[in-house]
Amino acid sequence: MPKAERTVTVGSSVGLHARPASLFVQAVGATGHSVTITKPSGDSADGASILSVLALAVGHGEELVLAVDGDNAESVADELATMLTSDLDAS
């Protein structure tokens, strides 16, 4: 199965909490791909699980590794990476 990874810096002013986390999880679910986000500490979360993403406690400006498995993984990774680097709380 094709796999793609991107290293991103979280752009949302509140990090991946509440609204930004919800928008990200919804976008992951819509792709149908297996998505994992991992902090430099090695802690990771299933991108399709709101509880996992919130529990990761990702703050503004933190770096994450976004891993996507599945067909078209490269384009899905690009879309999700762009989303993570945006200020999702401002939209």
Query: Which strands form 34-38's sheet, in the order they lie side by side?
Result: 3-9, 63-69, 34-38, 44-46
**Could you say which of 6, 13, 14, 17 is catalytic?**
17
Annotated catalytic residue 33: no
Distance CA 88, CA 21 (A): 9
User: Catalytic positions, please?
Assistant: 17
